[in-house]
Amino acid sequence: MTLELQFGTLTEALYFEAKVAGETRGMTFVDDQGEEELVTYLQALEEARGTAAAFQRLGIRTGDPIVFVLPTGPDFLYAFFGALLAGAVPCAVSPPGGFGDLDEFAERVAGVVRYLGAPALLTTRGLHELLGARIEPARVIDAGLLRVDVAAHGASAWRPVERLPGDLAYIQCTSGSTGRPKGVVLTHENLISNVYQIGWGLEYGPADTLVTWLPLYHDMGLIGCLIGSLYWNIDCVFMSPFRFLRRPIEWMRTIARHRATATVAPNFAYRLVTTRARDEDLVGLDLSTLRVALCGAEPIDRRTLEGFAARFAPCGLPPTAPAPSYGLAEATLAVTMQRPGRGFVFETVSRAALTSERVARPVERQAAGADAVDVVGCGTPLPEVRVRVVDEEGRALPERSVGEVEVAGASVFQGYYAHDEATRAALRVEGSGRWLRTGDLGYLAGGQLHVTGRRKDILKVRGRQYFPSDFEWSAEEVGGVRKGCVAAFGIQDEAEGTERLHLLCESEVVTDEERRALAAAIADHVARRTGLRPVVHLAPRGSVPKTTSGKLRRSEAKARIVAELAAAGGSSAGASTSASTGASGGPS
């Protein structure tokens, strides 16, 4: 089908919704204490125009990147659209919480500002002093003082700037742990096309309300929720991510209170709310309006979705609500999605065939034993999105053959900001078309995309290949292991001449005896489930590094354990109960 886009730019969408919806629809922000603040689309436009005028008074010019370090809230909303109305290009960076200590955080922000050549950084009053000494010559703007300026001057001095669909609208900086940042360059057309596709896939209508705790500085929150809600003229409720992490059940209560029809989160969030929900939390909880619970951003575990559906079934949650999806920043956001009401699908295939033969061969779970692995279907391609699976030479593979997933369509990014080499590596040009090389491995079956893992995360042990999520999910089945807080990776064992499987697992056990017992239990269970015995490293809460959306940073976890082993002068043999104490992960 042809995309029937209603707007050419994000600012056109804001103007239209402010005129049509006015004071009747908008975005509600729920803070850490549960206090709610409604920002209507009309109010958002008025505040954004005033913010645009303030940016222009500060010397921000058309095309200038502006880096934001702001929490989810109205100030972020006003600054984002204010930058667009001023002709500038916003780039959001996570506040402290997912980066480690404050010095490391400040250096990361400074690196992004230098990389983009941004003339200004907008942040909170609390971070103003910390970042001010690091960002020179860029100007550090206090968001609180900016609001005072807007209140005093309004939008009277704002100079409208014409922007076209092909103009740069947003830069999404990747959240890698080390090295040079990479900024995903997205145009207005990229963003408008993808939020249209997402709304089409979710079957949005005028009666829909979306509830999310995803932060606005992450693409799922900003693009999928904020911009998507604006485009489709629906209400959206943004919970504080901290409120969700402290009490996950508040996510479900917010859905019930607002009679929400849609929500979206990574796999770990559905698992967290399922395991933390007490029987008394379910009393009086009505989730019958929730027709779709979209799941994406990280590998999806069948057991997570089944467990979520079963746990909240007594609350009226429709059994077909869980809907897997697949996407990545370089495709703006979403690529494939399971349509609402269909229920999710999965296949049980041979682990050996999947990794060694690169073929998805269905098996019967009980008969296959440790060779059986479940792979969830991530849905079908969205309108005008083309998906294929290719071999190492870029040749398209038939159904059920495992290879690299490639994507083409209007939502595919323009390239990485000032990073031509990385852009050439990411895009395969064929004639006049461009295919995004995602780096993800998967296969197609019956129209469904099944993603099996990241090419760079593949473990190679004794000539066989393994996907890390398989080991991580197995380890999480052991009591005492924190759910969603296990990272699997391979470390070269010189004595054996091959990589050896290592697991970094978060746990709250304290005594040496408990730690030894838990490490042995994890190793035994994973060996039974997968046929491979791991070296287990136990670590305290917050030790497994993650991105701001909760995605595992396996390479960072591996680097940490390699450094610890080197410092201890040890090898990778045996089960370890070392206490890794690095950066905490998770949404912030």
Confidence of residue 66 (pLDDT cuts 50, 70, 90): very high
Question: Is-contact 257 289, C-beta < 8 A?
Answer: no
Nearest to 488 by CA among 521, 458, 527: 458
The pLDDT score that the predictor gives to residue 587 is: 29
Confidence of residue 97 (pLDDT cuts 50, 70, 90): low
Distance CA 204, CA 262 (A): 9
Q: Tell me the HSE value of 119 on the side-chain side, using a 13 A CA sphere.
A: 12
> What are residue 135's phi and psi, to 5 degrees?
-95, -10
Range in 98-107, 364-373, 412-421, 553-562 the model is least confident about: 98-107
Q: Which residue has the higher pLDDT, 483 or 17?
A: 17
Mean pLDDT score, 22-40: 92
Distance CA 252, CA 286 (A): 9
Residue percentage of the chain with pLDDT more than 70: 92
Q: Using one digit for the tens of pLDDT, what is the confidence trace for 424-467?
A: 999 998 877 899 999 899 999 999 999 988 777 777 666 566 77
Q: Which residue has the higher pLDDT, 422 or 582?
A: 422
Q: Using one digit for the tens of pLDDT, what is the confidence trace for 200-235?
A: 999 999 999 999 999 999 889 999 999 999 999 999
When computed from its CA atoms, the radius of gyration of the chain, rounded to whole angstroms, is: 24
> Which helix (H) or strand (E) covers residue 54, if one does?
helix 41-57
Distance CA 133, CA 109 (A): 12
Structure tokens given for 430: 């064929």
Q: Say if residue 296's pLDDT is above 60.
A: yes
Q: Using one digit for the tens of pLDDT, what is the confidence trace for 319-349?
A: 999 999 999 999 999 999 999 999 899 999 9
Q: Which domains does the chain have, with CATH numbers?
A: 10-246 (3.40.50.12780), 346-455 (2.30.38.10), 458-568 (3.30.300.30)
Q: Which residue has the higher pLDDT, 283 or 459?
A: 283
Q: Tell me the HSE value of 44 on the side-chain side, using a 13 A CA sphere.
A: 34
Q: In 10 A of CB 334, how many CB atoms?
A: 29
Nearest to 582 by CA among 450, 511, 487: 487
Residues forming beta bridges with residue 408, ordered by sequence position: 386
Q: Using one digit for the tens of pLDDT, what is the confidence trace for 369-379?
A: 878 889 999 99
Question: Is-contact 365 359, C-beta < 8 A?
Answer: no
Single-letter amino acid code for the residue at 291: R
Q: Say if residue 494's pLDDT is above 70.
A: no
Structure tokens given for 509: 């056990």
Q: Say if residue 588's pLDDT is above 70.
A: no
- Across the chain, mean pLDDT equals 88
Instruction: Compute CA 487 distance to the chain's CA centroid, rounded to the nearest angstrom.
Output: 17
Q: Using one digit for the tens of pLDDT, what is the confidence trace for 164-207?
A: 999 999 999 875 444 578 899 999 999 999 999 999 999 999 99
The pLDDT score that the predictor gives to residue 529 is: 81
> What are residue 500's phi and psi, to 5 degrees?
-120, 140
First to last CA, the chain: 38
Distance CA 262, CA 237 (A): 10
Single-letter amino acid code for the residue at 132: G
Confidence of residue 23 (pLDDT cuts 50, 70, 90): confident
Q: Which residues contact 9 (CB under 8 A, 6 or more apart)?
A: 84, 163, 164, 165, 167, 169, 188, 192
The pLDDT score that the predictor gives to residue 101 is: 66
The pLDDT score that the predictor gives to residue 2 is: 66
The pLDDT score that the predictor gives to residue 167 is: 96
> Which helix (H) or strand (E) covers residue 199, if one does?
helix 188-202
**Nearest-5° Cα angle at 68, 64 to 69:** 155
The pLDDT score that the predictor gives to residue 567 is: 77
Mean pLDDT score, 380-409: 95
Question: Is-contact 209 443, C-beta < 8 A?
Answer: no
For 348, 349, 363, 390, the CA distances from 372, given in Å and listed in that order, are 6, 6, 7, 24
Q: Say if residue 508's pLDDT is above 90.
A: no
3-state secondary structure of 100: coil
The pLDDT score that the predictor gives to residue 299 is: 79
3-state secondary structure of 394: coil
Q: Which residues contact 126 (CB under 8 A, 6 or more apart)?
A: none
Nearest to 124 by CA among 88, 157, 97: 97
- Give the pTM: 0.82
For 231, 292, 391, the CA distances from 204, given in Å and listed in that order, are 10, 10, 36
Mean pLDDT score, 379-395: 94
Question: Is-contact 378 405, C-beta < 8 A?
Answer: no
Q: Which residue has the higher pLDDT, 528 or 450?
A: 450
Total H helices, total E strands in the chain: 19, 28
> Which helix (H) or strand (E) covers residue 12, if one does?
helix 10-20
Distance CA 464, CA 454 (A): 16
Distance CA 66, CA 126 (A): 19
Range in 87-96, 102-111, 353-362 the model is least confident about: 102-111
The pLDDT score that the predictor gives to residue 287 is: 98
The pLDDT score that the predictor gives to residue 416 is: 94
Edge to edge, the sheet with strand 89-92 lists 89-92, 65-69, 120-123, 139-142
Structure tokens given for 376: 């969830």
Q: In 10 A of CB 488, how many CB atoms?
A: 29
Edge to edge, the sheet with strand 168-173 lists 168-173, 183-187, 415-416
Per-residue buried b or exposed e for 251-268, using 16+ beta carbons within 10 Å of the residue's own CB:
bbbbbbebebbbbbbbbb
Cis, bond preceding 241 (omega within 30 deg of 0): no
The pLDDT score that the predictor gives to residue 580 is: 42
Q: Say if residue 575's pLDDT is above 50.
A: no
Please, what is the angle between helix 125-132 and helix 143-153, to 10°? 120
Q: Using one digit for the tens of pLDDT, what is the confidence trace for 547-572?
A: 765 678 888 888 888 888 877 765 44
Q: Tell me the HSE value of 179 on the side-chain side, using a 13 A CA sphere.
A: 9
Confidence of residue 99 (pLDDT cuts 50, 70, 90): very low
**Highest mean pLDDT pick, 104-108, 348-352, 519-523:** 519-523
Mean pLDDT score, 490-517: 83
Q: Say if residue 100's pLDDT is above 60.
A: no
Distance CA 219, CA 80 (A): 13
> What are residue 445's phi and psi, to 5 degrees?
-150, 120
Torsional class of 160: left (φ above 0), alpha (ψ -120 to 50), beta (otherwise): beta
Q: Which residue has the higher pLDDT, 454 or 535?
A: 535
